Amino acid sequence: MIDRNIQLYLVPTPIGNLEDITLRAIRILGEVDFILVEDTRTSQVLLNHLGIKKPLYPHHKFNEHKAVQGIISRLNGGEKAAMISDAGTPGISDPGFLLVRACLEAGLEVECLPGATALIPALINSGFPCERFVFEGFLPLKKGKQTRIRELSIEPRTIILYESPMRLVKILGQLVPEFGGGRRASVSRELTKMHEETIRGTLDELIVHFTETAPRGEIVIVIEGV
């Protein structure tokens, strides 16, 4: 049975393969009173696949500030909620932090279940040291990007970045002046899906490859530290 002391569960969902969800996650989603989701259409596909019927409420970067207090009120009233993102673990480059902080400030208990996330498989697949690493998520689109790239260029730990396929070649090119074209890196895409692949090489080699072969799907860049 669901823990009566927990009001909010953060539940990781598959990043591609629908089998990548834990038995506990399925149980929790079936026992809570309502589920907070990024996109109701995306999450409904997964919940239909699992045979779970629960009220879904959109909770994303455009409405999370306005929605938090209403959610807190419901949880204080005795309801239990789960939060999921479109894919992966809530709070990792997805909504989650704001609500978790508000719940804790209100004296509510929160629990995050272990589960799917793209950064760990990409890190392991890269072949670079993974005892210590730095996860940067998405770099700033404009202001501060070059400063952050310069700072990361002397980072001794393995570096993990998220990026969109449309900007992949551009960001690889922006890394070269600071990292050097010979710095080793890997690009993982479509993790856990039918067309999953990891391409390894220097930054210069990766630029050539993805200029000739346009990338598709979600992208994780892993860069060797100095």
**What pLDDT, in 10s, does the model give residues 88-107?**
999 998 889 999 999 999 99
| Dist. CA 112–CA 171, nearest whole Å | 32
Strand 34-37 vs strand 56-58: parallel, antiparallel, or unpaired? Answer: parallel
| Dist. CA 190–CA 66, nearest whole Å | 33
The amino acid that residue 171 corresponds to is I
Give pLDDT tens digits along the chain (226 positions): 666 789 999 999 999 999 999 999 999 999 999 999 999 999 999 999 999 999 999 998 888 888 899 999 999 999 999 999 999 999 998 889 999 999 999 999 999 999 999 999 999 999 999 999 999 999 998 889 999 999 999 999 999 999 999 999 999 999 999 999 999 999 999 999 989 999 999 999 999 999 999 999 999 999 999 9
| Dist. CA 80–CA 172, nearest whole Å | 44
* Cβ within 8 Å of residue 128, ≥6 positions away: 158, 184, 186, 222, 223, 224, 225
The amino acid that residue 129 corresponds to is P
To 10 degrees, what angle do helices 40-50 and 23-31 make?
110
- Please give the domain boundaries of the chain with CATH numbers for all domains: 8-112 (3.40.1010.10), 119-223 (3.30.950.10)
Report the 10 Å Cβ neighbour count for 119: 22
pTM comes to 0.90
| Dist. CA 143–CA 159, nearest whole Å | 20
The amino acid that residue 63 corresponds to is N
Element at 224 (helix H, strand E): none
| Dist. CA 98–CA 63, nearest whole Å | 11
